[in-house]
Amino acid sequence: MSNSTILRLQREFNDILKSPDTQITIATDDSNLTHMHALITGPAMSVYCLGMFDFVFSFPDDYPTNPPKVTALTTGTVNKRVRFNPNIYSNGKVCLSILGTWRGEAGEQWSAAHGVSSILISIQSLMSDKPYLNEPGHENTKDETVIESYNRKITHETIRVTVCDRLEKFLSFDQERDFATASPRNVATPPSNNIPATTNTPPSTNDDLESAESLAASNAESISALLGTFCSCRERSPFEDLCKRLFLLYYHIYQETIEKEVAKGIIDGTRFFRARFEGSGNVMDGSFEYAKLKVRLENIYAAVRQETESWELLSKTWIANDTLMSSNLKNQFEQITAAGEFSQNIMVNLSNSNPFIWIVTFTDLHGTLYEDGIFTCVTSGSVLLAQLSSAFNQ
């Protein structure tokens, strides 16, 4: 890889890391700049509401002359692979003209003027409120029943796969054991006709890139994710701690989403609608199980809270031993308060001089939904502080 390519990647990575956009996060390794991980949070007003989706980028030596290869890692398990979007396949393939994985229209193809941010934003744009319309040949679908049926299963699987499965793995949950003491409640008999009938229509053949061969071809990254390791480059996710913190922030929204879906008349046990373009293993099949998901969310919340609260007790030992972590956090706090990095509407203090526990107060958030309110949060460092600040100012 040439020096110009290395400098280009370093510049792009730094720009993304400095961006106030908290819905897109990346992780890189200075020893291998050709490999990058990204975590994209689903837009709050879409059916992917605050789901957490992993992607891995592999950059060619001649980047940016040619685009990177992008693979979706959030695709379920070996026994139950999930296609989250007409353009995001169950084998991890991401279909975008900017990546050269879809023919697209003139002017939509990759050029050196594009970059990592362009790709990340393009992927996030796929997570719309009507993803069914992303499928070529179905853009003008007017049947709202079909569109809504497709939306419903994405909403369910976003919570099941991107939130519950993810966090349970991070917490080393044994699902069989953990659900034995928290069984689903009020599971009704599934109806026979509350959603359009499942269709076994073969997958769309709008483009040669959707061939059976492309659907069957899985790469090392997606296989690693399915078999239990996070990626071929590492066993655990670089976003593990971040996801736990985001879960605490969004927990009540996940629960509210379930309540709204159940209020629509969805009954547990009802099979998912299958779209006409799904088939050959590239599908999102299954059935609704919202009662079970509520219990799973509750168990995860309790475990993450317990883990977080234990830090307060452990931090006393860390401070007494003057650990490197303790010194780094104290230095971060002193640098932030001295530099005035955040606005005057944000006050930051340590709890009893404990660098592991930061108390953040937001006031006078003019121009936001929180105007005239006073909000106090407890956080564990400057990274989450930045995320909280961005969240309150949206």
Q: What number of other Cβ atoms are within 10 A of residue 349's Cβ? A: 13
- Residue 166's H or E segment, with its range, is helix 166-170
State the distance between the two ends of the chain, measured CA to CA, in whole angstroms: 39
Whether 95 is catalytic: yes
Nearest to 44 by CA among 252, 343, 238: 252
Q: Are 300 and 247 in contact (CB under 8 A)?
A: yes
Nearest to 122 by CA among 40, 227, 187: 40
CA distances from 229 to 75, 89, 90, 367, 381 (A): 13, 20, 17, 44, 28
The C-alpha atoms of residue 382 and residue 78 are separated, in whole angstroms, by 37
Nearest to 46 by CA among 117, 132, 113: 132
Sheet strand arrangement including 346-351? 346-351, 354-363, 374-379
Q: What number of other Cβ atoms are within 10 A of residue 280's Cβ? A: 13
Nearest to 124 by CA among 53, 209, 26: 53
Q: Which residues of 15-50 are buried (b: 16+ CB within 10 A; e: fewer)?
A: ebeeeeebbbbbbbeeeebbbbbbbbbbbeebbbbb
* Chain centroid offset of residue 187 CA: 28
Catalytic residue among 49, 95, 164, 231: 95
Q: Are 361 and 347 in contact (CB under 8 A)?
A: yes
Q: Are 358 and 333 in contact (CB under 8 A)?
A: yes
Q: Which residues are catalytic?
A: 95
